[in-house]
Amino acid sequence: MTTPAAEVVLEAEGLTKHFPVRKRGRAALSREVRVVHAVDDVDLRLLRGQVTSLVGESGSGKSTVARLLAQLYPRTSGDIRLHGEPTPLATARGGRRFRAYCRRVQLIFQDPFASLNPVHNVEYHLTRALRIHGRAGQGKEQLRAALANLLDRVQLTPADRYLSKYPHELSGGQRQRVAIARALAADPEALLADEPVSMLDVSIRLGVLNLLRDLKERLNLAILYITHDIASARYFADTVLVMYAGRMVEGGDSETVTQRPAHPYTRLLVESAPDPDRLTSEAGSLGEAGGAGEAGTAGGVGGAGAPVPGGEPPSLISPPAGCRFHPRCPFVMDKCRTELPPRLQVGDTGEHWAACWLFEGVAA
């Protein structure tokens, strides 16, 4: 649960990334500049000691958000603030300020095999990270202790058994633990975990998620957990944010968003996710949101036998006007085709919102 007192570590406002489209053939002669609207006007906050999950299907812009937050890409517009301190649009890469930011905000990639160099062993990877961040200590003894401490944090013990191993000698889960240990070498405050378990065997996913949860609690980390699996977000996250076609469409505490989704797109995600103890009767959830008028129409979206919107996500080069989900939405109204819905409150707690016209005038 989000507590009002939780400290904001990292925050984005109006975060936008447009990638230019390379022109080919005759298009190369035209003056028209075409871009992929990968991320548009995204707001999010990562709180100390909490997991925020960013959920959405492939191509919705989740990884781009993580890369923008990690400063791997320059953003087109918007603000990123670490402890309220703005990061300039074009942070000088390699500069002191940039290095300090990168130390505090660490990214963990989906594929631990690709992120570890196959010709180097665990000791090399971790020692290098400790040295880069000035945390290797003085002399061999202190370095040894720092390495053992890192491996202990990711539950790879005894350390001596793992230090000499090469990536190919480790299981997928162990490799991801080494990648997490390498991120921890920087002593970060925020971890951006981009689909950290999706390439792992189902049997070991839970272990790695439990490890991240343990780190969140012990080290008081602010974690961004990116996933297309809304069921795992329910299990692991405190807060869930849902992205569709480059925009945020819903947010709130994880239990509410995953069990009583409001936006028709979130309902689609929840409907298609295997989650055995889902509380059904989403009709009731919209009733709670106010239930009257158009929202009442939406009450049937997620329930048994409810229509599941078909179709594909839109082109991000020329995204639909209004709500980007409108071409797939079973409850589309005229307004949805032309006007972008703002964040509208769902229910009466003030923490659950949906960018959907169905909730206009519904909240208490």
Ligand X SMILES: Nc1ncnc2c1ncn2[C@@H]1O[C@H](COP(=O)(O)OP(=O)(O)OP(=O)(O)O)[C@@H](O)[C@H]1O
Summarize as ranges the residues that interact with ligand X (CB under 6 A): 19, 36, 38, 56, 58-64, 228, 316
- Which of 180, 316 has the CB closer to ligand X? 316
Minimum CB distance to ligand X, residue 47 (Å): 22
Beta strands in the chain (DSSP E): 8-20, 35-47, 51-55, 77-82, 85-86, 105-108, 190-194, 222-227, 239-244, 247-253, 344-345, 353-354
- Which of 38, 178 has the CB closer to ligand X? 38
Minimum CB distance to ligand X, residue 226 (Å): 7
Minimum CB distance to ligand X, residue 74 (Å): 12
The helix/strand/coil state of 192 is strand
DSSP string, 19-79: EEPPP-GGGGGS----EEEEEEEEEEEEETT-EEEEE--TTSSHHHHHHHHTTSS--SEEE
- Which of 170, 192 has the CB closer to ligand X? 192
Residue with tokens 């992120």: 115
Minimum CB distance to ligand X, residue 141 (Å): 42
The answer to whether 87 touches 81, Cβ cutoff 8 Å, is: yes
- Which of 215, 245 has the CB closer to ligand X? 245
Parallel/antiparallel/unpaired status of strands 222-227 and 51-55 = parallel
- Which of 73, 124 has the CB closer to ligand X? 73
Rounded CA-CA distance 156/22 in Å is 45
- Hey, what amino acid is at 251? G
Minimum CB distance to ligand X, residue 54 (Å): 8
- Which of 60, 174 has the CB closer to ligand X? 60
CA count, 13 A, side-chain hemisphere, 37? 17
186 CB-near residues (< 8 Å, 6+ apart): 102, 103, 104, 106, 129, 132, 133, 135
The answer to whether 167 touches 118, Cβ cutoff 8 Å, is: yes
- Which of 66, 122 has the CB closer to ligand X? 66
Minimum CB distance to ligand X, residue 350 (Å): 28
Minimum CB distance to ligand X, residue 248 (Å): 12
